[in-house]
Amino acid sequence: MRRSRLQHVTLAVLLMLGSWSAAGTLPAAASDSSDSAASETASPGLLEPMQRDFGLSKAEAEARLTAERDATALLPTARRAAGAAYGGSWFDAASRRLTVAVASDTAATTVRAVRATGAQVRTVEHSARQLDATKARIDRLGAPSGVSSWSVDPSANAVVVNVVEGERADNDVLRFVARARETGPVTVRTVRNEPRTFAAGTVGGDPYYTGNVRCSIGFSVHGGFVTAGHCGRAGAGVSGWDGSYIGTFQGSSFPDNDYAWVSVGSGWWTVPVVLGWGTIPDQLVRGSAESPVGASICRSGSTTHWHCGTVLAKNETVNYSQGAVRQMTKTSVCAEPGDSGGSFISGDQAQGVTSGGWGNCGSGGETWFQPVNEILGRYGLTLHTA
């Protein structure tokens, strides 16, 4: 069924594309179009939320979007220049530049090569390889519920273990933290709440339904869409916002991962669009280039609609009550029940599908998403792009 909530610009794009769905076999390639970049910085759908959520002027928001796009494009080159000395990277909102960490014993020629790419350089004690190895060892420990998540923080040059406020004195938490510290460089921080997924019972909005569970569509792929794994198991039927049958979960993984894909049929088709919910224009999807830590990012979901924030961490392990989920990206964007599976997007580049978090869009919170490129690669899907 055609989504009547899509705006006229979306329908025009559908007519130009002239193709609704096809079998996909390969992950999407990242898009690097100067034309799309220009439209990105001019789009009120991006500028207005950034002005609101970051307290920026229009000019400041435009400058940040341009700088983030440049940092995203620069990262692969800077990382290759660093080689084995690479210690991680992040976008520095203050300087509007990509910062690349390199190990303290790095040869001067390597440091110069990284600087020559245009990136800022910070010298650190531990390489990214060492930090990733530390995190992998912590992944094998098994965490109590008072431990929220853990990930490599390149700017701290350590693995950050997040402990729920009020649980730091718990004996199981203390034992876990002590064992984690034995694995390598670890920093402990406090968070307000335990993480939870954002599925919900049947209520209104523009969702999809699996039984009495409501979730949100992530991104269209050729042949269907990707979403969160905790929303449904393989073989489960899916209905749309109008109650009509959409298709079936073809693959699903949760916990350990939190991703799934749903085949589309029965008169439904796929479109390269993220809903703006009337708050902003619907956003076209042109690729899936991964934004760095520190970059701005926005989310669309069937409960709280459109909100923006910042990428806080990557490859974070999240300790849900149902089990740990790995390789997640953490953001400062809020979400609420029913937003699960929804789209995380930076500019016109797909980033991932909403998994869970803590807090709400009244008082704030944090969320995690499963990166979309991992989902595409896992199931051999092709992102539907404009």
The residues assigned a catalytic role are 230, 258, 340
Q: Which residues pair with 92 in a beta bridge?
A: 97
Residue 282 gets which letter from DSSP? P
Query: Under DSSP, is residue 128 helix (H, G, I), strand (E, B) or coil?
Result: helix
Give the sign of the dihedral formed by CA 188, CA 130, CA 259, CA 363: positive
Residue 286 gets which letter from DSSP? -
Q: Which burial class, exposed, middle or buried, applies to 93 when counting CB atoms under 10 A from its CB (0-12, 13-18, 19+)?
A: middle
Report the chain's terminal Cα–Cα distance, integer Å. 20
C-beta separation of 351 from 333 below 8 A: no
Cα→Cα distances 175→131, 143, 179, 277, Å: 21, 10, 6, 46
Tokens in use for 35?
């034309």
Residue type (1 letter), 55: G
In the block, tokens 């039984």 appear at: 211
Residue 281 gets which letter from DSSP? P
Runs of H (alpha helix) within the chain: 8-17, 34-42, 44-54, 58-82, 108-116, 128-139, 171-182, 372-379
Rounded distance between C-alpha atoms, residue 200 and residue 340, angstroms: 8
C-beta separation of 91 from 73 below 8 A: no
In the block, tokens 């992530």 appear at: 218
Query: Under DSSP, is residue 164 helix (H, G, I), strand (E, B) or coil?
Result: strand
Of 384, 324, 312, 379, the C-alpha closest to 355 is 324
Rounded distance between C-alpha atoms, residue 167 and residue 139, angstroms: 20
Backbone angles phi, psi at 241, to 5 degrees: -65, -25
